[in-house]
Amino acid sequence: MKVIGFLSIAFVLLVSSHTEQNKKEQAVTKIEDLLSVSFHSVYYREQKPQSTELICEVDVLKPDLVLGISREGMITQLENDKGELVDVVDKALSGPAVMHYSYQSLSYRPQFIPRKKPPRWKTAIRSVLRLPPLKREVFPQTVFRLHPNRVRIPCDLRLLRPNSERINRVKGYFYVLMPESLEHIDVPFKPGKKWVRLTADLEIKVVEAQSTGSGYSYRIEKRRREGVNKDWFYAGCDLPDRLPAGRQFLGRGGNPINPLSEPARLPASVGGRGRESCGKTGPVKKIRFVIAVNPSHRKIPFELEDIPLPKR
């Protein structure tokens, strides 16, 4: 296995034509404003069957406007190191290939930040006044940072000249799942007898809800219309008009408690049970369900240049 990585490659995003109505609706959601894509590495598997993949990193600049990114992309044209163009057949998605084009959620990872020490002047004053020292949080603060998603681009090296050392240019595309808008449905954090409708086929009911200044626990039931069960989405599949995209527990002032503490998935989890700490933003007042309205598949063309290849 050989990996060539971390190269700065120019990446060009092109936007397909839209109707005038779509242009007005998405004037502030241009693809160039949503994504920043860079080349990451070449993955080459020597064992038979041999395979090569170009790995790209996709930075999402406006995470509220992107629901998911396809795990794989597809190449449509190659230019070898002699400047010769090779067109690649654009294969239709079917059978097992569909799994590779399933959408991955945005990549949030926890990061631990040490607590700040009290200023020295405060410590000195309290010492002179013989006041007890200020309490300091021992455990580090946990924050969640958005990291780039990685998209694999399978590349058939047999299309190039034997012993080619680089690709001058490669064109292709991957998919992004985008909503037309996001809608918030707030539910009181207390047990209730009524079912609350989130989408045409999905309802929830808060069965248990307890919250103190330090923690909270809950149990939420969900039910679907008979015969409807869509647990994963892939590029080109039929999409509902409304799709659960997130769930947040809100504290004082409507501020989220433990944002992104739940594993990112698509569609987002709406039911189940859990027990979490509140920190300084508790107790819990409401549960907010985030609903993506009119999600759609967006094909994102790309162009990469000057890609070195492993020796074969």
Average pLDDT in the chain: 79
Bridge partner list, 289 = 185, 247
The pLDDT of 263-276, averaged and rounded, is 83
Q: For CA atoms 113, 260, 174, 301, give the dihedral sign.
A: negative
| Side-chain half-sphere CA neighbours of 151 within 13 A | 30
Question: Could you tell me which residue, 113 or 199, shows the higher pLDDT?
Answer: 199
pTM, whole model, 2 decimals?
0.75
Overall average pLDDT of the 32-61 stretch: 84
22 vs 18, 33, 69, 180, 183, CA distance in Å?
6, 16, 21, 10, 19
Q: Which of 117-131, 143-157, 250-264 ranks highest by mean pLDDT? A: 143-157
CATH number of 2-106+145-179+297-308: 2.60.40
User: Does residue 65 register a pLDDT over 50?
Assistant: yes
CB count within 10 Å of CB 44 equals 19
Is a pLDDT exceeding 90 seen at residue 219?
yes
pLDDT of residue 217: 92
What is the rounded CA–CA span in Å between residue 99 and residue 43?
Answer: 20
Given a contact cutoff of 8 angstroms between Cβ atoms, the answer to whether 52 and 157 are in contact is yes
Average pLDDT over residues 125-139: 71
pLDDT at 177 over 90: yes
pLDDT at residue 148 is higher than 80: yes
Greater model confidence, 110 or 86 = 86
Pick from 106-110, 241-245, 281-285, 300-304 the range whose average pLDDT is largest. 241-245
For residue 158, what pLDDT band results from cuts at 50, 70 and 90? confident
pLDDT category, 165, cuts 50, 70, 90?
confident
Residue 17 has pLDDT above 80, yes or no: no
Where do the structural domains in the chain lie, given as residue ranges?
2-106+145-179+297-308, 109-143, 181-294
Q: Is pLDDT at 11 greater than 80 in this prediction?
A: no
Residue 174's pLDDT is what?
92
- pLDDT over 50 at 1, yes or no: no
Q: Which of 136-145, 167-176, 207-216 has the highest mean pLDDT?
A: 167-176
Cβ neighbourhood burial of 295 (10 Å; 0-12, 13-18, 19+) = buried
Q: What angle do CA 246, 250, 256 make, to 5 degrees?
A: 70
For 197-211, the pLDDT digits (tens) are 999 989 999 999 998
**Range 10-18 average pLDDT:** 35
